[in-house]
Chain A
C-alpha cells in the first residue's frame, strides 16, 4: 500500500493500481474537508439559522 512496504515495486502495476486508489482517496478527502470547513465558516456567518 505504501512504497516502504517491502513488497512494493515501482512498476506499472503498482503505479496504476495505487495511483487510482490514492486519486480516489484524495478526491474524497479533499471534498469532505472542503464541505466541513465551509460548513463551519457558513455557520459562523449565521447561515442555516433560519429554522430557529
Chain B
C-alpha cells in the first residue's frame, strides 16, 4: 500500500504490522495527551509537586532528554567540525534522536509552567542573568537547528525527492550543513551548560551550589561535558535497540566503535572532573555553609537519597562504562558495549535526577526535615508521552526515509523478490513482537 514511499533497495514490514505497532504506541501517546489536557485545563494541581518541590519529574525528564539528545550536537561537532568522516553513517540517526529529544523537552516545558499562555515572557521580558533564560533561548534556537538538520532527511523520501524544488532544497541544505552544525554546537555548549548552571547558581541550596569561574559555576561545564560524553551512548543504545527490533545490521561496527571510543574517553575525563568537583564540594564548599557531606545523604525516608545514589552515579554508571568503552577489546564485545552504553544512559539520568530532585529534598533550615515526593499518574503519563512520541517518530522515519546510509549495503535484497514479499506477507513477518521489519533470511 505504501510501497511507493519506502526507500529503494530496503525491505520494510507489511503495512498491517506497522499499523499495529504504531497503534500500540499510539495508545500510550493518547494516555499521555489525556493527562496533558487535564494539566492544561485543571492546572498544576494535577501533579504531586508542592511548594518544596517546584521542580520535579518533568524538569528531570527535561534535563535528561536534553542530555541524552546531546548525541546530536556532539556527533555533528565531530562529523562537521572535527572531520570524523565515518560518523556520516550515524549522523542522521543522531540528528533524529536529538530532534525527538528536544521537541519533547519543549513540549514538557509547555505544560510544566503555571501559565502556559505567558510562556513567551521568557523571551520578551528576558532576564539575561538567569540561567533559565539562556536555556530557553538556546534550546529553542537549537531545536530550530535540529529541524533544519532533519528537513533534508524528510526531503530524501522517495516521493518528495521527485519534486525538483525539494530535491534542490535538500541538496543545498546538505551543502552548507557544516554552518548549521557549527551554530548548533555553539548553542548546545551554552544551553547544556546553563542547565547545569540552574542548580549551580542556587547559593541558597548548598547541595546544588558550586563555585566556578566568572558567572559560570562548575556544574555549567560538567553538564556540557556530560551531555557530550553520554549523549553518544544514547545514540548507540537506540541504534542497538533499533537493530535488535528490525533484526538488521544498520550501522557498520567501525562507525559504532569510533563513536563508542570517543564517548568512552569523554566519560573517562568527565568522571575525573566530576570526582574532583564532588571532593571539593564535600570538603570545602558544603562545610563553609555549615554542612557535612554525609548530611546530604543520611536520615532521609527510605534512604531514597542515600550514598548509594552517588556510588551508582559516579562508580557503576560512570567509571565502569568509561573503562569498558576506552578498552578496545571490551567495547568490541557486543555484551559489554550494550552494558556500557546502558549504564552511561542511566548515569547521566541519575546525575540530572540528583541535581534537580535532591537539591530540593535536602533540608536547609535546621528545623525542617527532608521533603519527599512521588509523582502523580498524570505526571508519569505525560512523561511517557514523549517516549511514545519518540518511538512513533523513529518508526515512521525509519520506514519512509533513508536514515541509515549503510542499510542497503549491509542488507542486500533481491529487488523483485522484495517487491513480491511486500504484497504477500511471509509467516516470518508475524514474529512474536510487532517488529518494524521482518527478519532477514
Query: Which residues on A are within 8 Å of B, measured CB to CB?
Result: 1, 5, 7, 13-14, 17-18, 20-21, 24-25, 27-28, 31-32, 34-36, 38-40, 42-43, 46-49, 51-52
Contacts and interface: CB of A to CB of B under 8 A. Distances in A.
Nearest to A40: B165
Contact of B190 (A20, A35, A36): A20
Given A5-B124, A39-B168, A39-B172, 11 more contacts: A7-B127, A13-B128, A17-B126, A17-B134, A18-B128, A21-B141, A38-B172, A39-B169, A42-B164, A48-B165, A48-B167
B117 interface: no
Contacts of B141: 21, 24-25, 28
A31 B129 CA distance: 29
A32 to B, nearest CB: 7
A14 B168 contact: no
A46 B128 CA distance: 48
18 contacts: A1-B124, A1-B126, A5-B124, A5-B125, A18-B128, A20-B190, A24-B141, A24-B186, A25-B141, A28-B148, A31-B179, A31-B180, A38-B168, A42-B168, A42-B171, A47-B168, A48-B167, A48-B171
Contacts, number: 80
Chain A interface secondary structure, helix, strand, loop or mixed? helix
A4 B166 CA distance: 39
Most chain B CB within 10 A, of A13, A24, A35, is at A35
B144 interface: yes
Contacts of B124: 1, 5
A27 B179 contact: yes
B263 to A, nearest CB: 26
A50 B173 CA distance: 19
A45 to B, nearest CB: 9
Interface in B283-299: none
Contacts of B128: 13-14, 17-18
B145 interface: yes
Interface in B164-213: 164-169, 171-173, 176, 179-180, 183, 186-187, 190
B407 interface: no
Interface in B210-233: none
Given A1-B123, A31-B176, A31-B179, A21 B137 contact: yes
B357 to A, nearest CB: 29
Kindly state the interface size class of chain B when it binds its partner.
20 to 34
Nearest to B170: A39
Contacts of A24: 141, 183, 186-187
Interface in B129-165: 129, 133-134, 137, 141, 144-145, 148, 161-165
A10 B145 CA distance: 28
A32 B149 CA distance: 11
Contacts of A48: 163-168, 171
B383 to A, nearest CB: 30
A27 B278 CA distance: 39
Most chain B CB within 10 A, of A13, A31, A52, is at A31
A14 B134 CA distance: 12
A44 to B, nearest CB: 9
B172 A35 contact: yes
Given A27-B183, A42-B168, A34 B162 contact: no
Nearest to A51: B162
Contacts of B126: 1, 17-18
Nearest to A16: B128
Which 5 A-B pairs have CB atoms at the shortest separation, nearest pair first? A48-B167, A48-B164, A39-B169, A39-B168, A42-B168
